[in-house]
Chains A and B, each alone.
Chain A
Amino acid sequence: MPDYTLRVNGVSRTVRTDADTPLLYVLRNDLEMNGAKFGCGLAQCGACTVHIDGRAARSCVTPVSSLAGKNVTTLEGIGTLDKLHPLQKAFLDEQAAQCGYCTNGMIMSAKALLDANPKPTEAQIKTALAGNLCRCGSHNRIVRAVQRAASAANVAKGA
């Protein structure tokens, strides 16, 4: 098995695995990160969402060999318990989950949206998250959390 070096949350990591190994398993099993979740393995549900060079991507269908020279960002990379990202904080403030299995994908997809569009409308938020499935029915809370994070970030920026 060849070695692959990838940058995850700003740190260079080398793993030995097959070329077609999905990034999801490298993150979860080699790098022991919990954020990205296995949901379908088919890019249908969004639970495994990470950012690759700042864009939301489905790690379950991203081969590790495609990541040379690219930056991978995971839920762990955007904030920590001690220093939560505004989206993480907003999800807690709105209690925007029930089981929380989809939460990683919701936050990472929302972050990709806010990075590109800091003041999205409700319709834009819903469209941006339409590819992320939630089964518990937390959708309205999630939309409120994204709105809250957006306005918190905009207040911080004086926008």
Chain B
Amino acid sequence: MTTTTLSRRKFLKQSGVIVASFSLAGPAAIAQQARAPLPGGLNNNRMLDGWIRINANGRVTIHTGKCEIGQGILTALAQIAADELDVAYERIDMVSADTARTPDEGMTAGSLSVEGSGTALRFACAEVRGMLLAAAAQKLNIAVDKLSVADGAISASPTRLTYWDLAKDLNLKREATAVAKPKPASQHKVIGKSMPRRDFPAKVSGGAAFVQDMRLPGMVFGRVVRPPSYRAQLVSVDEAAAKAMPGVVAVMRDGSFIAVAAEREEQAIKAAQALRASAKWNETPDLSPSGAALYEHLKKMPSRDSVIKSVTPVNASGGKVTSVEAEYTRPFQAHGSIGPSCAVAQLKDGKYTVWTHSQGVFPLRTDLAKALKTPIANVTCTHVESSGCYGHNGADDAACDAALLARATNGRPVKLQWMREDEFGWEPFGSAMVIKMQAQLDEAKNIVNWQHETWSHPHSTRPTSNPAGSFVLGGWHLADPVPAAVPNNSPQPSGAADRNAVPLYDFPRQNILLHYLTDMPVRTSALRTLGAYANVFALESFIDEAALAAGVDPVEFRLRHMKNPRARAVIELAAQKSNWKPNSKGNGAGNESKGRGIAFAQYKNLACYCAVVADVTVDRAGNVKVTRAVSTVDAGLAVNPDGIINQIEGGIIQSASWTLKEQVKFDRQRITTRSWADYPIFTFNDVPAVEVHIINMPNERSLGVGEGSQGPTVAAIANAIANATGKRARDLPFTAEKIRQLTA
């Protein structure tokens, strides 16, 4: 969507009109001969006019395949474009993630948008700026190096030309070369500034900001009636009774897929309730056991086993070693978007138009086309914002539901929103995981041998995760179903289930193993950080346990094993900013004990470096409160410092909530978490004070921050609990009951 939407009328106009006037040459459209690689997202989207349009009216339109999901990406990209083009920030209009209008940059995921789209825009804008200057030089018959440019006005005394004068003759229908170099940090004016978010004014004042706020002429309201459990089969349902209800426009049943459309939203809800009440299903109790038995079950499930990394030193020391081992567990956890998933869809003349908050409109289009059994060319997907998703929530599924229902509404657009119970019952959860850690310390108290062994379900079952299947829910339930296929685990160095299982520490002998559990009795997919949250929990808890076993302060122990200077810098600054006192014992006065813990990770071993120091109190009843978190982050060149702080701070709070409170509940047949009453999350009284300190590295490339702090936070809390109580919490979440048992 565009980010300059103010009025409802304008919103509808911009959302509804498709202008396919740019080069959308994706990988398939590019000639097969080998080409020089281009930086970032330019490599797969090489045409300049796919990214940039200089308009005669003094506006600049930037197209990105990435989308706004509350992380502030469109603000950051506009900053980059303004600086590299030398135009005022206010002139930039952003068009994002639209299969008809923007580059295909895959998913907006993995904390990669500044790295991918930002890098592409830095080079593409630098190149277009160079083209404009060359055109001006030719027109003025003057050497390029005699020209200067400010806000699109090119000065060469006594004459003056503007980008807007040159726009008409500027031909951007050509491949980028990446020859023009982006500006050095010393010339940045907008990059590095905490520009306010472009999308916030509408959000504080009731403007149209979300897909839920779309209203199209003739639009009807849709609801879906999902089965009571994942693999339930519909036996019968009273469609006629629902069709006769007030306002009902269409009842759609295809196999076990049921949806209803009505003139009014509350009518659609009532009809869906009636359909649910009359539906008879065949169900089988086929879910995994829950509680402690879940983890034993995971370890016995069929698995694809792989050695992720194995290092054996040439000169292994032969001295006496001390062995330590421990096992860590993490339950299924939910995205828990505040706004349930929603989409608007319309079917007209055989063409589907879908407005969706999917994180990947191009992959969604591919899998939607399969589920709808129509060619890809008949489907257009446009991103419109919704509530924060934090990964693969119900967005793609709601888009499919709306598109299927649009078949039954005679060309009228359908806005279909999930109810709260649909979101909790059907969103793909972050996988439950078991991680077994083993290490050996030599006589000098250094780690000489390190093993990390992870059991996990898949962490990406998003659209196109396996081209052999389709990953949108609606298609699975049709009479002629379009099933999913087994998704592959993403390879290292980023990994997925094994994300951050490989330590950044310099342990001489390493063995990193993955047991990938492709059977998914409980539906799983990408929850913010994928496997990194649990792998860092285990890794950074275990190094703390090893430090305790060695009798060495945890900060000192980490630094002893870490050569990477940027990793060392964030750990050292976190210790300094938190006033870390080496070897300090937790303090157990009266009814509560206080403790402090540190943890570190470089997300994916590729993105930002982040350290977190957490302070906790633990009371006699086992209640853990995180009172304060001090964090440090090195994200390379900081494009928008406040945006970085917001992401790191939000990540700490979200991760602390996962860590202390969250687990999805289920019995052998059904997901029993259906509302916020079943799934408590942090509220204002739970939230710690948070400090974020940025180490700006203006001459380094920007590194993603969206998932940087979750892993360090969980481990810092676990380490602080151990510091406070002398007992090690290894089974998430750290509820009062578990901590009480642990410390009894």
Contacts and interface: CB of A to CB of B under 8 A. Distances in A.
A139 B204 contact: no
Nearest to B385: A99
Interface residues of A, number: 60
Given A22-B266, A40-B675, A140-B649, A135 B681 contact: yes
A27 to B, nearest CB: 10
A59 interface: no
Given A133-B338, A138-B650, 12 more contacts: A38-B212, A39-B420, A76-B205, A79-B205, A81-B201, A97-B197, A98-B646, A127-B685, A136-B654, A137-B687, A140-B653, A142-B684
Nearest to A138: B650
B684 A143 contact: yes
Given A25-B265, A47-B338, A34 B207 contact: yes
A127 B388 CA distance: 24
Contact of B650 (A39, A102, A137): A137
A129 interface: yes
B264 interface: yes
B683 A130 contact: yes
Interface in B637-653: 642, 646-647, 649-653
Interface in A118-137: 125-127, 129-137
27 contacts: A21-B266, A28-B265, A32-B215, A34-B206, A37-B338, A42-B676, A47-B338, A75-B204, A79-B205, A81-B6, A95-B200, A97-B204, A101-B210, A101-B337, A101-B339, A101-B387, A102-B338, A103-B204, A104-B206, A107-B204, A126-B684, A135-B336, A135-B388, A137-B654, A139-B684, A140-B649, A141-B646
Contact of A137 (B340, B642, B651): B651
User: Which residue, B210, B265, B654, B675, has most C-beta atoms of chain A within 10 A?
Assistant: B265
* Chain B, interface residues (CB within 8 Å), range: 35 or more
A92 B339 contact: no
Contacts of A18: 246, 266
A84 interface: yes
Contacts of B681: 133, 135
A92 B197 CA distance: 9
A79 B204 CA distance: 9
A104 B683 CA distance: 16
A99 B70 contact: yes
Given A29-B264, A126-B684, A100 B199 contact: yes
Interface string A45-75: 1010000000000000000000000000011
A137 B653 CA distance: 5
Interface of A: 1, 17-18, 20-22, 25, 28-29, 32-35, 37-42, 44-45, 47, 74-76, 79-81, 84, 88, 91-92, 95, 97-104, 107, 125-127, 129-143
B196 interface: yes
A91 B204 contact: yes
Interface of B is mostly: loop
B496 to A, nearest CB: 23
B71 interface: yes
Interface string B382-407: 00011110100000000000000000
Interface string B720-735: 0000000000000000
Given A29-B264, A81-B207, A135-B338, A99 B651 contact: no
Contacts of B212: 37-38
A92 B420 contact: no
A45 B676 contact: yes
